Amino acid sequence: MPYSEDEDDMTKTLRPGVQTGEDYLTLLAACKDGGYALPAVNIVGTNSINAVLETAAKAKSDVIVQMSNGGARFYAGEGAPDAHRARVLGATSAAQHVHLLAAEYGVCVIMHTDHANKKLVPWVEGLIEQSEAHFKRTGKPLFSSHMLDLSAEPLEQNLDVCARVLKRMAPMGMSLEIELGVTGGEEDGIGHELGEGDADADNAHLYTQPKDVLQAYDRLNDIGHFTVAASFGNVHGVYAPGNVKLRPEILKNSQKLVSEVRGGGDKPLNLVFHGGSGTATNLIREAVSYGVFKMNIDTDLQFAFAHAIAAQVDANPKAFKYQVDPDNAKPYKKLYDPRVWLRAGELGIIARLEEAIADLGSAGKTLAKA
Ligand SMILES: [Zn+2]
C-alpha cells in the first residue's frame, strides 16, 4: 500500500520522506484539489537543506528540494577536479542526505533537479543512472523528478529530447518537468537576458502559446508523467519591477485548451511557476488557482541567508576580525564559530520561506502521517 485512506475524513496520508511514483502523484493531486502549491527551494549545501526541512516541519507543509547544476557542483566542492562528475556526485550526495533526514522531520519531500539546458542533458542522464542503481536496491528512484529546459531549442527538438529522457524515467515512476516559452532572467547561466526591446508588455516570446502546451501534452502524456513550466511573463531573479507584465491567464487558457481537446478534467496540466521571487501575493494566488502546484523560490532565499549573516557580522564586527579583542583581551570564539553565523543564515532562510509557504497556502497541509 503506497498510502492509506482514512475512513473518517477521506484524507490521504503518505509516509514522511522522499516521495516518488504513485505517492508523488498523490501529493500533486492534493495540491491541485486543495488549491495550494509547494515551494521549490534551490539548495546548495546541508545548511540550506536542513533549513528547508526545519521550515517544512514547523509549518507542517510538504516541500520540494531542488538543485541547479551549479548547486550540485558546489555541493561536491568547487575544488573537485572533474566538473561533470562533481555535478552528478554532488546532486547524488544531496539526495542521499535528504533521503536520510526527510522522514526524521516528519514531512513529505519531492527531490528534484532544476533547469538543465541542452548541454546539461548528460548531467540529468548521469543522475537517472544513479536512480536506476538506487531503484535496483530499494525499488525507489533517488530523485522524484528532473527538469529539462530546452526552451531555447525549436519546439520539436525540445519535445524530442524530453520524450527520450522521459521514456527512461517512466519505468521508475519518475516525473519530468519541461519548459515551454522563454522565461527571462538568469538561472545559473541558463535562461535569457532581457534585452532592450523586452521592456514592454507584448513581447510574444516571453509568453507560452497554449497550442504549444497542447503539442507537448500530445507528445508526452502517453510516455509518462510530466509537468510544465510555461512562461507568462515571469523572470528568473529579481529585477526592477514594471519591465514585464505577468499574465497568469496564459496558464488558465492552456488548461482550457488541453481540457477541451483531450479531456482530463478542468485542470489536466500540472503547472510550475518559475521566477517566483519578488512576485506579488495576489498574482501567486491567481497562478495557483489555475493549477500551479510548484513555485520556484531561489533568489529571495539567497538574499535572506546573506542578509541574516550580514546582520550577525554588523552586530559583532570585531569577532570577525580578531580571535581575541586587541583592546580588552575578550575571546571571540563563541561568535566566529561557524555554527553561530551559519545558524543565523539558516534562521534567515526559515523566516522568508515561512512567508512563501503562507503565500502558496501550503501551511498545515502536509500529507505526512503523524
Ligand atoms: Zn524556467
Q: Give residue 298 CA to ligand 1 midpoint distance, Å.
A: 12
Ligand 1 ion local residues (Cβ < 5 A): 179, 183, 274
- Please tell me whether residue 178 adopts helix, strand or coil conformation: strand
Per-residue pLDDT of the chain (370 residues; tens, 9 = 90+): 444 444 444 467 999 999 999 999 999 999 999 999 999 999 999 999 999 999 999 999 999 999 999 999 999 999 999 999 999 999 999 999 999 999 999 999 999 999 999 999 999 999 999 999 999 999 999 999 999 999 999 999 999 999 999 999 999 999 999 999 866 565 555 544 444 333 333 456 678 899 999 999 999 999 999 999 988 887 766 655 555 678 899 999 999 999 999 999 999 999 999 887 778 889 899 999 999 999 999 999 999 999 999 999 999 999 999 999 999 999 999 999 999 999 999 999 999 999 999 999 999 999 999 7
Cell of 277: 521571487
pLDDT of residue 187: 56
Catalytic residues: 114
How many angstroms is it from 253 CA to the middle of ligand 1?
Answer: 19
pTM, whole model, 2 decimals? 0.91
pLDDT for the residue 194: 44
Give the Å distance between the CA of 180 and the centre of ligand 1.
Answer: 9
Predicted local confidence at residue 48, as pLDDT: 98
Query: Which DSSP helix (H) or strand (E) runs through 163?
Result: helix 155-169
Residue 273 belongs to what H/E stretch? Answer: strand 271-273
Residue 182 Cα to ligand 1 middle (Å): 8
Does the domain at 15-360 match CATH 3.20.20.70? Answer given as yes
* Residue 47: CA count within 13 A, CB half-sphere: 20
Per-residue b/e over 225-246, b at no fewer than 16 CB within 10 Å? bbbbbbbbbbbbbebeeeebeb
Output the CA 231–ligand 1 centroid distance in Å.
8
Cα–ligand 1 centroid distance for 183 (angstroms): 5
Task: Provide the sign of the torsion angle of the four alpha carbons 242, 244, 247, 251, taken in this order.
Answer: negative
Residue 276's pLDDT is: 74
DSSP H/E element including 334: helix 333-336
Residue at grid coordinates 516541519: 57
Contacts of 366 (CB under 8 A, 6+ apart): 56, 60, 61, 62, 106, 107, 108
